[in-house]
Chain A
């Protein structure tokens, strides 16, 4: 008996404590707590700044992995009914998350926020008047190149893709270990961007009826272009950012990387020793065609359907995208803000460390950001397209079969899956 009483008392005490702690948390209506998923070291400083400025809304950030991993976890968490209130999402995964009923339409809450962005940027997160997120950072495509090596080899920066091929040949002649660029069979977003620049429309939706154009004429032209460079051994066909590739970059054997505006910080991460050697130029365009570029990568902040306090969530998102305290952190961390005010602030800052020597860095960046391809629509199964692309193109490189066939195979797999899931689709 002496054993039992204290035990019962202890249990009672525990229950009381539990109840009272619940009461405390539930009773304090003044502070709203938001859960926020986002990757990247930058977010800590931005969230801290927000919390400091908003005593009544406190944000708890979780790093749930990079874009793909976090989208996967988001789907699972949403199905279990405990998705975070706000989350970072990559633009191309938004339609898939909308189809899986993860993201909330915040059109009624955003007010005039659209005016803070270019139309092309705003279209990345809104569809037919519904708003599924607010753009956070964008990656308009530019040509990042190793200026020191270009000067050493006496190469001119190409303005068009036709010139790019000529420079590729010259580079091979002047240094046989060097390639002007790498064609990566796993960089779906990169190829999509190059194809979109050339006029491709990979997905289109009209009244829920989809058209898939991954294998369209413009994309085939781009595939054919790179095929030719690979066949003539003018570019290196291998995955990017492998230890192997990083070594090549460090040896100065990779001269350019046509990619999003975030690329300098990536190269700086693997080749710190080349700080100041690199520069950006406008992405080459097709001779006689528009010099508008596509976006590669970038992400938005979205509110999920599990968010209880949408108003507070939208307030947080708006602040993150428009407050100078937030965009300044982005800029100093190498991200290019999506909002116009952030982009204007970027112009006044120093260029990223990798391109420290380039005086007109922000002029080139701003020009690219203000001249982007309109109406880029991503499909509801971009992840499928992504891995179908990687598998098909890797096989094509390995077996030396045409890239255009790989493109056709990607298209078939994407259409087949959309049909299986029940989307009305033509393609």
Chain B
């Protein structure tokens, strides 16, 4: 490209190249003893007006693609959601029944949703679902990762693929699949217990719905989390394990005392993903809903928001609900990081 577009007005590309070169050359300068003082007067700046402008623009030019995507797909939608959440669809006197029009309603949507007990009941159910699902997912993922990392493990590649495979099954398909395994007349588990004279297992009735739903998420989530933890385990220098073994440490203690503390950052990461995944739970209960009377339209917060937005045609209300959920997610994520950060990352921060 640069060959065909050579000429006096060759655009920023050449400027950047020229601007970058002195920077690269002067890079060793701070190392050679001039210390912080060198930062105050970076060499490219001194090179003249046009070059200085190029140097000034350079970071922004490089940032443009990322910024454009960020603005288009994050900032604008978030801004629009915030705007929508203070609007409301209200009746104006036109037409045979009146007509719904969008008007500014201030915080009325927030007041409605924050005082709606069904919205909060959804959070309660979500919490129960998460309390069952998240520890099981992380515990099993850690266990499998440690087993795979254990020197004596056999058929490692096959096991890793087999454990990871459920993650590749789309959530909707997984929910349908499990749904059929839960329904009394098609459940293979209930079939066995009925043959034994114990009666069917009421997977979809009463409190059973929580473990049944959590099971789908655990089944699908273990593989992904295991890969993250396993990758972290592989990153531990082998010398550490060797040294521990020479000191007479058993494999069991090696796992508990050396490996687990060292992969703690990976555990925090997977914990954070699982927490956010729980806050966004939607697919599994939605797919099981037609199969049971336990799950209603507002069973978890996202289902409540979906109902407002796409069944009741009240996007402003759905936007308010989304903002509340997003703030809740942010607060919880920060809290989790704050609690775990000091312990996990120690004085490194």
Point out residues on A near B: beta carbons under 8 Å.
1, 3-4, 68, 72, 75, 95-96, 98-101, 127-128, 130, 185-186, 205, 208, 238-239, 241-244, 247-248, 380-381, 383-384, 387, 390-391, 394-395, 397-398, 417, 420-423
Contacts and interface: CB of A to CB of B under 8 A. Distances in A.
B95 A243 contact: no
Given A239-B290, A397-B293, A398-B293, A72 B311 contact: yes
Contacts of A380: 97-98
27 contacts: A68-B311, A95-B97, A98-B96, A98-B97, A99-B95, A99-B99, A101-B100, A128-B96, A186-B290, A208-B96, A238-B293, A242-B183, A243-B180, A243-B291, A244-B185, A247-B185, A247-B186, A383-B311, A387-B311, A387-B312, A391-B296, A391-B298, A394-B294, A417-B312, A421-B89, A422-B90, A423-B91
B312 A384 contact: yes
A387 B307 contact: yes
B184 A100 contact: no
B280 interface: no
Contacts of B297: 387, 390-391
A244 B203 CA distance: 13
Contacts of A241: 290
Contact of B91 (A128, A248, A390, A422): A422
B206 to A, nearest CB: 8
Top 8 A-B pairs, shortest CB-CB distance: A422-B91, A394-B293, A391-B296, A422-B90, A247-B185, A387-B297, A398-B293, A75-B313
Contacts of B293: 185, 238-239, 394-395, 397-398
A241 B183 CA distance: 13
A79 B180 CA distance: 39
B93 interface: yes
Interface centre among B4, B293, B294 (most CB of A within 10 A): B293
Interface residues on B, range: 20 to 34
Chain A interface, >50% SS class = helix
B313 A127 contact: no
A405 B4 CA distance: 79
Contacts of B252: none
Given A72-B310, A127-B96, A380-B98, 11 more contacts: A68-B311, A72-B311, A96-B313, A98-B96, A99-B95, A128-B96, A243-B180, A390-B297, A395-B293, A395-B296, A417-B312
B91 A381 contact: no
Given A72-B310, A185-B293, A390-B297, A205 B97 contact: yes
Contacts of A238: 293
A42 B99 CA distance: 33
A422 B186 CA distance: 48
A420 B294 CA distance: 28
Nearest to B311: A383
Given A242-B290, A421-B90, A99 B180 contact: no
Contacts of A127: 96-97
A100 B100 contact: yes
